[in-house]
A and B are shown apart, each in its own frame.
Chain A
């Protein structure tokens, strides 16, 4: 299982910039060559397009929510336009469906697959130095399962909507007449998509590391992906069975969750959060991985506390399984259970804090380039820190009694999910975009998008903390007039945030049209993906890559004549190797 260490003297002179003209985008043509591709990079790109579409849809729904809440009685869904679209629905019903679908689409279709499936698929094998993931067919089927799940969600949207909240709490979900079965089937299918991705990555990282890629030479993004995959594999099946039982409850009244048949709704909550709390870490852990890469590459400095960051990812993955109860502090669990869950919840904050400290320490005395990805990464640390710290208010029992199910919670998890995951996703996309498509984007445009996202985001969600602590419950279609000013601020913020995201999209699309050709290593990164061309060739590496330290920036210099980063001759013992050994066992012979 372990690849062993690099045999001494195993280094090649060639810095490893391949020369092939063909890349993964051009080596075969036609729509079918994409539809049936087994190439992890193409699957990653298809995922990227898919999740971006879902993000767009979920984002539009979010804008709908914010616009509606501009006035205490709502202004959007009681407008004539919406009445015409849905004549048999009350404005409140439309609002309820919109926030439900916003949540469900963002969680199941966007955030969970965003970084692991889109960026992860593209990057994991390349960063690892492998030719592909371990099971390419499983990988493709995972993408099509995602598409299938998305189709079910769209069907639910078109049939009679979904108004249960993304949490599907019983008995509401067993009694409402909206399309719960379609949506849960969709989520069930998406669960399998997620499991297959996670399983693939665990196996890939375990068995396909090339010689020299020891566990502690892996880039931190791989550590984060590995931890994420563990959660995906261990938690998602429980969601699967929960949703299956929910479907059975609706169709056959099996009486497990529905109190009308002597079931227990709180059991459903336990089942649901046993998956969905770890799922929160499925969403944020890969973001940590991205930030570790971004901060170190753009500071041109070794990551500070590599082992602490790596171990803290694993620690978070494991701790995430024992804290689900903090979503249910007010549900009437026994006091002792509640207190235990509160104590366990506090433990999760330690590894998260370790990461933040280490990132800031990495920047100390670095050589920082304020590129778009770096600005996004800085925004991430700022926003995620707020999100994480406000989690303390919610983990503390006495204050959670007041704050639970209010806008404080909404603000908290948006700071983590949007300020954290989405911002790092954008940062990651900007960082690896040249690698993915081989084009550079406009730096100025990227920076403007980052600034707008940062300002808009804070304006949207900072007021929501105050709304929450002043007692505004979440999921309200209308509200007391005293909350109106803060809601209005929040709506203005959402508009700015929306503009920022569209600017980002525009910048990236423009780069495809008139972007400069990207060099192999535009940022001066040291991980393996910067060793292959941009975009990478079909099999990623012309020859087995030389695995070095992923954070050794000493031998990467900016060449002003060539106008790009080059790898300088390392001042080490160099022994050319004619036939790169494939297995450690052989290398040792």
Chain B
């Protein structure tokens, strides 16, 4: 219980998360207005309720002091009176809402692909990244689609929310006001990234309170229930101070660097493009088959002869996941993976294949002896280690 109190020191006492968009002021104001009205009504009711219960407590059989059963004036007053307040609330609510629905011309457009269970923010030119990066003070418009079920994009700090319904485009816009700060130097980031790599962990946003690029962030949640990992369908929003800063950030993710190995870049894509939410690299069974040691093995598929996991199979599985659905130990996987057609370049797919190869290549093992296979895996691991785990230019 002490910790409970400790957490509610002044700064955290607010009922709201940080107010960080042009909407949040209006929204919070309306919220507080309604809350005050509620308190103004609630306190007298509660006082009367408990007060009467106490004051008019009587022994059994004592008749009531009054048997008044109506007072039309009073009743009309309390029926009609509060209605005026309701009109005021409705007015402010509708006004704020219309602001949210009127998307300004020339807003910076980011595409949002929601899928089970992750986000792909599309910045154009093939740059897709799970984090949402926007510019402070500039209106940003999100054009949102879902690949599978209904999701809902929710940024508490911006006080905005919109369902993402498959089969239609939904839009949302906001103007972020509070830019993120860069709280960690590149050096520290590199160290942390290397440590993660060693311990085979992914970046922990909650613990470190900054993104892998060192910025503070705002939470972005999926607010519409969408299945198993609904609660893990979270990402972050980073607000840059200038368009240039944002452009620079986008640039570094635009494609594989000239001196970056395909396997290392594949590892990044694995993190960034949502593969890791369904495919493990340590052999555990998740929503989809694990990558570990899968390359070159024979794989049972639904409604067909076993196929070899080779470049063509992986490519097909990325572009058309439902064509050959894998079976593991007699249990077929759910055909839930969305197609990545048009979302990954040939080089991206090549990089992913190389990455999967690097996690163990059974075909190599067939040819060479077992120890040689180990060696190969080691080489691959070494290759990974060589490449920078998280590139920060």
Contact = CB atoms under 8 A, between A and B. Distances in A.
A349 interface: yes
A36 B152 CA distance: 50
A302 B231 contact: no
B232 interface: yes
- Most chain-A CB neighbours within 10 Å: which of B37, B93, B157, B234? B93
A173 to B, nearest CB: 9
Nearest to B232: A478
Given A305-B75, A360-B49, A404-B161, A469 B15 contact: yes
A163 B93 contact: no
Contacts of B3: 485
A542 interface: no
23 contacts: A92-B231, A171-B148, A264-B167, A265-B167, A266-B165, A266-B168, A305-B69, A305-B75, A308-B70, A342-B93, A365-B65, A366-B64, A369-B58, A374-B53, A390-B38, A398-B92, A399-B30, A405-B223, A465-B15, A471-B17, A475-B231, A476-B231, A477-B230
- Most chain-A CB neighbours within 10 Å: which of B8, B16, B65, B223? B223
Contact of B222 (A342, A374, A473): A473
A71 to B, nearest CB: 13
Interface string A451-480: 000000000000001100111011111111
Interface in A527-562: 551, 553-554, 557-560
Interface in A298-341: 299-308, 330-332, 335, 338-339
B69 A551 contact: yes
A489 B234 CA distance: 24
- Most chain-B CB neighbours within 10 Å: which of A370, A385, A405? A405
A470 B156 contact: yes
B223 A404 contact: yes
Interface of B: 3-4, 7-8, 14-17, 23, 26-27, 30-31, 34-35, 37-38, 41-42, 45-46, 48-50, 52-53, 56-58, 60-71, 74-75, 78-79, 82-83, 86-87, 89-90, 92-98, 100-101, 148-150, 152, 154, 156-157, 159-163, 165-168, 170, 206, 219, 221-232, 234, 334, 336
A307 B234 CA distance: 52
Contacts of A307: 70
Interface stretch (A26-34, A153-161, A350-358, A499-507): A350-358
A2 interface: no
B155 to A, nearest CB: 8
Contact of A172 (B26, B37, B149, B231): B149
A169 interface: yes
Given A304-B68, A393-B31, A473 B154 contact: yes
B93 A175 contact: no
Given A177-B334, A401-B100, A346 B159 contact: no
A335 B101 contact: yes
A306 B100 contact: no
Given A398-B26, A399-B34, A473-B222, A360 B48 contact: yes
B52 A366 contact: yes
Nearest to B37: A392
B16 A396 contact: no
Contacts of A93: 228
A477 to B, nearest CB: 4
A364 B98 contact: no
B156 A402 contact: yes
Nearest to B57: A368
Interface string A505-530: 00000000000000000001000000
Interface residues of A, number: 104
Contacts of B69: 302-306, 551
A470 B166 contact: no
Contacts of B98: 335, 339
A193 interface: no
Contacts of B159: 401-402
Contact of A308 (B75, B95, B224, B226): B75
Contacts, number: 296
B94 to A, nearest CB: 5
A96 B228 contact: yes
Contacts of B161: 330, 401-402, 404-405
Contacts of A300: 62-64
A11 interface: no
Contacts of A308: 70, 75, 79
Contacts of B16: 469-470
B154 to A, nearest CB: 6
A396 B221 CA distance: 22
A313 B71 CA distance: 19
Contacts of A479: 231
Given A305-B70, A366-B56, A385-B42, A397 B34 contact: no
Nearest to B97: A397
Nearest to A549: B69
Contacts of B206: 480-482
A200 to B, nearest CB: 31
A92 B68 contact: no
- Most chain-A CB neighbours within 10 Å: which of B64, B87, B150? B64
Contacts of A466: 15
A86 interface: no
Contacts of B156: 402, 470-471
Given A339-B94, A473-B223, A356 B45 contact: yes
Contacts of A560: 61
B34 A396 contact: yes
B30 A389 contact: no
A335 B150 contact: no
- Most chain-A CB neighbours within 10 Å: which of B58, B97, B206? B97
A369 B64 CA distance: 11
Given A331-B163, A405-B161, A473-B223, 11 more contacts: A92-B230, A175-B149, A265-B150, A393-B34, A406-B223, A471-B17, A482-B206, A485-B3, A557-B61, A558-B61, A559-B61
- Most chain-B CB neighbours within 10 Å: which of A96, A395, A397, A477? A397
A488 B4 contact: yes
Nearest to B159: A402
Q: What 4 A-B pairs come out closest when comparing CB atoms?
A: A558-B61, A471-B156, A398-B96, A259-B167
Contacts of A303: 69
